[in-house]
Amino acid sequence: MKLVDFHMHTTHSDGTLTPTELLRQCKEKNLACVSVTDHDTLSSFEEAESEAKRLGIELIPGVEISAVFEPGTLHILGYFLDRKNRELMACLESIQEARRSRNPQIVEKLQCEGVDISLEEVTEEAFAGAGALHEKQIGRPHFAKVLVKKGVVKSIQEAFNQYLGKGRPAYVDKRRVTSKEAIRIIQAAGGVASVAHPKQMRLEEAALEKEIACFKEEGLGGIEVYNSCQHFKENELYLKLAGRFDLVATGGSDFHGANKPGVKLGFLGENVHLGYEMVDKLRARIKKLGKT
Binding mask 167-206 for ligand AMP (x = CB under 6 A): -------x--------------------------------
Range in contact with ligand AMP (rule: CB under 6 A) among 15-23, 136-144, 182-190, 244-252: 136-144
C-beta of residue 39 within 8 angstroms of C-beta of residue 55? no
Find all residues with CB under 8 Å of 152, minimum gap 6, and list them. 115, 117, 159
Find all residues with CB under 8 Å of 134, minimum gap 6, and list them. 11, 12, 43
Report the C-alpha gap between 153 and 261 in whole angstroms.
21
Q: Least distance in Å: CB of 256 to Fe ion?
A: 7
What is residue 270's three-state secondary structure?
Answer: coil
Report the C-alpha gap between 175 and 239 in whole angstroms.
31
What is residue 254's three-state secondary structure?
Answer: coil
Give the helix/strand (H/E) hosting 76. Answer: strand 74-79
Task: Output the CA torsion sign for 119, 95, 191, 74.
Answer: positive
Among positions 196-225, residues that touch Fe ion (CB under 5 A) are 196
75 binds, among ligand AMP, Fe ion, Zn ion, none (CB under 5 to 8 A by kind): Fe ion
157 binds, among ligand AMP, Zn ion, Fe ion, none (CB under 5 to 8 A by kind): ligand AMP
Q: Least distance in Å: CB of 201 to ligand AMP?
A: 15
Q: Least distance in Å: CB of 196 to Zn ion?
A: 10
Q: Least distance in Å: CB of 56 to ligand AMP?
A: 31
Between 160 and 238, name the residue whose CB sits nearer to ligand AMP. 160
Does 139 bind ligand AMP (CB under 6 A)? Our answer is yes
Binding site for ligand AMP (CB under 6 A): 14, 139-141, 157, 160, 165, 174
Binding site for Zn ion (CB under 5 A): 9, 14
